[in-house]
Amino acid sequence: MISTVALLTLVPAVLAIPSNIKRTGPDGASVLSTIVAGTTTYYSRGCYDELKSGQHALQHEITSTLTSISATTCVVGCQLAGYSIAGVMNGNQCFCDNAMSPDAPELDAEQCDSACSGNSLEVCGGVWHYDIYYTSSTGDIPAPTPVTQVTTSGQNWVNLGCYVDQVSCRSLPDWMFAADNMTPELCAATCKDEGYAVAGIEWGRECYCGNTIYNPTLAPLSECNQACSGDSTKACGDQDRILFYTVDGKQPNTASNSCGPSSSSSTASSSISTSISSSISSSYSSSSSTTMQPTTTRPTTASSSATKPCTTSSTTPKPTTTRPCTTSTTPKPTTTKPCTTSTRPTSTPTPPKPQPTCGRPNKHDGYIHQGCYNENPWWRSINQYSFSSNSMTPSMCSDKCFSKGFKYAALEKGTDCYCGNNCPTSQAPSSHCNKPCKGDSQWIGGGNSGKITVYKSVILGYPRWAWPWGWN
């Protein structure tokens, strides 16, 4: 979003004029009361803790776009990028946003005492603590808010409220995907296209679809306040908290299953009918509004852990689906070339079944098997799109990746599909990828977490001369 990075070298003299000092730390570095960026004044709003579990209170990091890191350069960079909130952290990181998670507690000012790497006279937060600057000196800092309804393809999908969800017992187990541009609109549109009546959005970037909600348990709306990865001003559930949407707010089908409470389907239906009515009446102040007002104030605490936030996500979905299997019955030969090579792929005449050529054998979506690779579950190489299904096959995964325009398709745990344009560089022994695909056990779908079976698109990933014979 920043097209004039070079201007930041002029920041101290031209773009930003620090005014009075708010506080001086033990090493002589100062917290600035105000920083003027262009024609906009940003005010120091205090020291705040970072979120845990790999989440961020501010969603947009611009550290790599700045020539140096200080409170001044960060504020100017955020202003140029169109953001009203700037946060400096760890002495060398800059984040921006137009909304800040209400789950980030305000700390004692002394918890933010790290000198900036680009200007030792300025304070740039603390260890995993933000110094926050905002364009208003008073009032609440904006927080993500749930959207009351979204419109897609002429249909209004109405928010039914915040509900409890569990990794081991999904309330919408039929279909899911995750994306870094997630919004309620994207989730509702995808569920509609997949033929489902209920959309659920969770953990900021995960979308779940289904026709029946299992074991509905209402939660406070304030617990569904994680920023959407595609629009941080909107809330998209939270960890183990899901926001449900249905067309025109129609009451969904409900049921109990073996992993949930031992209640009858009729009892569950009655429960969600009552809870939805209660949720809507208590949460929506006006039916014409587009977002709900936050129901809680920002928490405060006197101290906070100084350790790096854990990046472990507890939401590894394993939903089921009844989508048809698209695995080819006549797979093309496999190749043993690593996926990072640009040379012509070689093939063997009779490949073993756990290593098929993925996709239909035609020029549209063929993917060639590359082997088993190591993948860091928290910093994935193939990470631009993902979904899970208990009907997973190599063809289901590759078809979806090809439709999204990605070179690589990767399977993990027999149920999870990942798409992207970067390939892991660490190849693993083939024996480490030993999980049969849930949708067709004759094919291998990676291994345990961190072991993936990788395929590369013939059309998207190789030059034309390297395509198999007959693909033109």
174 falls in which pLDDT band (50, 70, 90)? confident
Indicate if the pLDDT at residue 337 is higher than 80. Answer: no
| Cα radius of gyration (the chain) | 25
309 falls in which pLDDT band (50, 70, 90)? very low
**311-316 contacts: CB < 8 A, separation 24 or more?**
311/53, 311/54, 311/378, 312/53, 312/54, 312/378, 313/53, 313/54, 313/203, 313/239, 313/378, 314/53, 314/167, 314/239, 314/240, 315/167, 315/202, 315/203, 315/206, 315/239, 315/240, 316/167, 316/416, 316/449
User: What are 206-265's pLDDT values in tens digits?
Assistant: 899 999 999 899 999 989 988 998 898 999 999 889 999 999 989 999 998 766 544 333
> So what's the pLDDT on residue 297?
38
With 0.85 as the threshold, say if the pTM is over it. no
> So what's the pLDDT on residue 350?
36
Which tops the pLDDT comparison, 297 or 453?
Answer: 453
Indicate if the pLDDT at residue 28 is higher than 50. Answer: yes
> So what's the pLDDT on residue 11?
45
Q: What is the mean pLDDT of residues 160-176?
A: 87
User: Rounded CA gap, 11 and 5, in Å?
Assistant: 10
Q: What is the mean pLDDT of residues 92-118?
A: 92
388 falls in which pLDDT band (50, 70, 90)? confident
360 falls in which pLDDT band (50, 70, 90)? very low
User: Distances from the Cα of 106 to the Cαs of 34, 96, 298, 299, in angstroms?
Assistant: 19, 17, 8, 7
User: What are 130-142's pLDDT values in tens digits?
Assistant: 999 999 999 999 9
User: What are 248-304's pLDDT values in tens digits?
Assistant: 989 999 998 766 544 333 334 444 544 444 444 444 433 333 444 333 334 433 333
b (16+ CB within 10 A) / e for 32-53: bebbbbeeebbbbbbbbbbbbe
Angle at 114 between CA 112 and CA 119, to 5 degrees: 125
How remote is the C-alpha of 19 from its chain's centroid?
A: 38
